Amino acid sequence: MSTNKIGTLCVVGGGNMGGALLSRWCAAGIAEKIFLIDPADVDAPDGASHVRDFAGIDGTADVVVVAVKPDLAADVLTEIAPLLAEHTIIVSIMAGLPLPAMSKHVSTGKLVRAMPNTPCKVGAGVTGLFTEQLSGIERTNISALFDVAGATHWLSEEVQFDALTAVSGSGPAYVFRMVEALAAAGEGVGLEPELARLLSRQTIIGAGALLADDAREARELRAAVTSPNGTTEAGLEALDADPGLPAVIRAAVRAAATRSREISNED
């Protein structure tokens, strides 16, 4: 594989994440040929061909993205053998499945582990990547593959996936929970339910857009909207009251990271 367009890209599994990434890749024209391999009746986006099994593809692939549930990993990694050549890059987005466990079922090709998050669907995600097998050009190509879905970051150690999962993998759910809580709180001080929902939703959307557009750190943006002795300061003081929002977030991230480690160690 060179730094040019990928020759043949195969995506195994058309679920939420696999389907979201596939749509981004098709829209970007990232590969000359794109196949979705899934036994179910799924709609492939324009630019991809849907086949139900691996026999539906003639020849080997340059990149195979495995986007199935981890409990199917052993079977799927064995079944993709006809697609693999020495140069093939196998990218796993199966959560909690370490590379050594995958390597037991793959006889050739090069393994990469990836952890994208759900905002990849709209091109605003972040993907953590790790491998010990790719050359510099190959790493650049895999970065480019996920760049069309947002930002990419290569991890220095595979063990960092537990922390990454807890922050960026689970993080969107924390934000959505904040929207729910803010809407409920708005109702509690007198807003109509629908108005509270709309205000909380758009507030988070707007804050995220400002973060994306403004180079200042989050703490600087927070300070800019916090007038001394004003309403925002009063609200922040309540958020920081014992145990405080920072402590709650730390607890959430630690719990998620612990669970990620437990999943990785499960047989």
In which domain, by residue range, is 231 found?
A: 171-264
Query: Cα 139 from chain centroid?
Result: 18
Instruction: Provide CB contacts within 8 A for 162, sequence distance 6+.
Output: 257, 258, 260, 261, 264
Asked whether residue 113 falls in the same domain as residue 184, the answer is: no
Asked whether residue 151 falls in the same domain as residue 38, the answer is: yes
CATH of the domain at 253: 1.10.3730.10
Q: Is there a domain that residue 185 lies in?
A: yes
- Does the pTM of the predicted model rise above 0.95? no
Asked whether residue 155 falls in the same domain as residue 182, the answer is: no
Q: Is there a domain that residue 200 lies in?
A: yes
Asked whether residue 56 falls in the same domain as residue 175, the answer is: no
Return left, alpha or beta for 59; rule: phi > 0 is left, psi -120 to 50 is alpha, else beta.
Answer: left
DSSP 96-136: T--HHHHHTT-SSSEEEEEEE-GGGGGT-EEEEEE-SS--H
| Best CA proximity match to 77, nearest among 45, 47, 51, 113 | 113
Indicate the residue among 122, 140, 161 that finishes a domain.
161
Asked whether residue 202 falls in the same domain as residue 130, the answer is: no
Asked whether residue 213 falls in the same domain as residue 86, the answer is: no
**What is residue 1's predicted lDDT score, i.e. its pLDDT?**
44
Mark the ranges of the chain whose per-residue pLDDT is less than 70: 1-4, 267
Asked whether residue 132 falls in the same domain as residue 228, the answer is: no
CATH of the domain at 138: 3.40.50.720
Asked whether residue 15 falls in the same domain as residue 140, the answer is: yes
Q: Is there a domain that residue 166 lies in?
A: no
Task: Say if CB 36 and CB 49 are below 8 A apart.
Answer: yes
What φ, ψ does residue 17 adopt, rounded to 5°?
-75, -45
**What is residue 138's predicted lDDT score, i.e. its pLDDT?**
94
Count of domains for the chain: 2
Instruction: Provide CB contacts within 8 A for 239, sequence distance 6+.
Output: 245
pLDDT digits (tens, 9 = 90+) for 153-205: 999 999 999 999 999 999 999 999 999 999 999 999 999 999 999 999 999 99
Task: Say if CB 171 and CB 148 are below 8 A apart.
Answer: no
Q: Is there a domain that residue 61 lies in?
A: yes
